[in-house]
């Protein structure tokens, strides 16, 4: 396991201080800059953004524009634009096959651009009964049964994505960068071997209850397709299972295993799927450490936990810190 791999690294004194508290807010992806980007994009669309509501603020800034009936997703990375363009291509295809997904808004061209940021625009799903983990299994079953689209989708590559996030990092110490890159070097061949020996299907890539919505007609649908790719179906079961280990345990893995009728933790592929997801959990915040108060501390908390193998202190989602800092 990578925990043993990380334990050999000593925690630098400045990192110990950061665990106690620090404030970095001078980064490229601050809430204020994201709000400026939203205003620019709304102007391009010819809609009013005065009623904008922040829905999510982590790897993307996600805003609802209720009067316009739109949702705007703005990337908070400059190294992952390929994922945004892919999401726009997928959005058009989803409508053609009636996939269990949100729908791309009808605009002249997507994605839209603001400076070095890209954005996609989707139809707003009005508030309805919140989906539960019991809904996730059936939706994933339907999603996995979709035909493979002829869109040039990438094959599952969590290590490649992690390298891009590390390259896009803000305020990442050299020692920590070395640890992450060494981890990527070791995990990469294991991921490649799993992909080579697994049947591949369309996978969402970030399947959890937070990426579910319920339409007014009761149909439960998926959103957020940045990570959608071709890969082993277990990729979509591993996110919930791995989260049970590091975040607050809610019993969701057991419920998902029942609703999907498969327990991914019993598969021989589980150690690689788990480690790939843990790498994703860790590096997700590194482009934001100088942009959002609390993210740098949370990153150090997670890195320290993986170095020591300590799962006793639940992690806090990176998005939680932006919500606390948001003025929208």
Longest dimension (CA), the chain: 55
Cα–Cα distance between 102 and 94 in angstroms, integer? 8
Sole residue written with tokens 């922040």: 54
Tens of pLDDT along the chain (328 residues)? 344 444 444 433 334 334 333 444 457 888 899 999 999 999 999 999 999 999 988 889 999 999 999 999 999 988 889 999 999 999 999 999 999 999 999 988 899 999 999 999 999 999 899 999 999 999 999 999 999 999 999 999 999 999 999 999 988 999 999 999 999 999 999 999 999 999 999 999 999 999 999 999 999 999 999 999 999 999 999 999 999 999 988 899 999 999 999 999 999 999 999 999 999 999 999 998 988 899 999 999 999 999 898 998 899 999 888 753 344 4
Residue 188 in contact with residue 272, Cβ under 8 Å? no
How far apart CA 39 and CA 119 sit, in angstroms, is: 12
pLDDT of residue 321: 85
> Would you give the DSSP letter of residue 155?
B
Q: Which of 40, 103, 96 is nearest to 71 (CA)?
A: 103
DSSP 76: S
Whether the bond between 111 and the residue before it is cis, its omega within 30 degrees of 0, is yes
Give the model's pLDDT for residue 58: 85
The model's pTM is 0.87
pLDDT at 77: 85
Cβ atoms of residues 74 and 38 within 8 Å = yes
Residue range 2-325 in CATH 3.90.1200.10: yes
- What are 270's two structure tokens? 């589980």
- Rounded Cα–Cα distance for residues 24 and 292 (Å): 7
DSSP-based three-state secondary structure for 115: coil
What are the sequence ranges of the domains in the chain?
2-325
């Amino acid at each position: 396991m990578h925990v043993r791999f990380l334990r050999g690294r000593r925690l630098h004194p400045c990192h110990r201080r950061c665990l106690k508290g620090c404030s970095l807010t001078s980064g490229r992806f601050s809430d204020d800059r994201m709000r400026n980007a939203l205003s620019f994009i709304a102007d391009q669309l010819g809609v009013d953004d005065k009623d904008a509501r922040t829905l999510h603020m982590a790897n993307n800034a996600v805003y609802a524009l209720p009067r316009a009936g739109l949702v705007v997703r703005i990337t908070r990375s400059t190294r992952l634009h390929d994922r945004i363009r892919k999401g726009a291509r997928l959005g058009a295809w989803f409508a053609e096959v009636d996939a269990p997904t949100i729908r791309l808004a009808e605009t002249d061209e997507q994605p839209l651009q603001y400076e070095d940021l890209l954005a996609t625009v989707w139809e707003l799903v009005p508030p309805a009964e919140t989906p539960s983990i019991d809904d996730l299994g059936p939706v994933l079953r339907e999603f996995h049964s979709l035909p493979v689209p002829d869109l040039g989708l990438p094959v599952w590559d969590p290590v490649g994505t992690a390298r891009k996030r590390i390259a896009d990092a803000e305020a990442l110490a050299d020692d920590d960068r070395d640890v992450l890159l060494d981890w990527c070097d070791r995990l990469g061949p294991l991921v490649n071997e799993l992909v080579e020996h697994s049947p591949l299907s369309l996978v969402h890539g970030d399947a959890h209850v937070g990426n579910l919505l319920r339409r007014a007609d009761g149909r439960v649908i998926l959103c957020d397709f940045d990570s959608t790719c071709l890969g082993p179906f277990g990729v979509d079961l591993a996110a919930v299972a791995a989260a049970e280990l590091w975040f607050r345990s809610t019993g969701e893995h057991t419920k998902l295993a029942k609703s999907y009728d498969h327990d991914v933790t019993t598969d021989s592929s589980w150690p690689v799927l788990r480690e790939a997801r843990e790498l994703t959990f860790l590096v997700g915040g590194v482009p934001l450490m100088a942009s959002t108060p609390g993210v740098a501390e949370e990153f150090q908390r997670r890195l320290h936990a993986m170095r020591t193998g300590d799962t006793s202190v639940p992690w806090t989602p990176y998005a939680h810190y932006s919500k606390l800092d948001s003025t929208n």
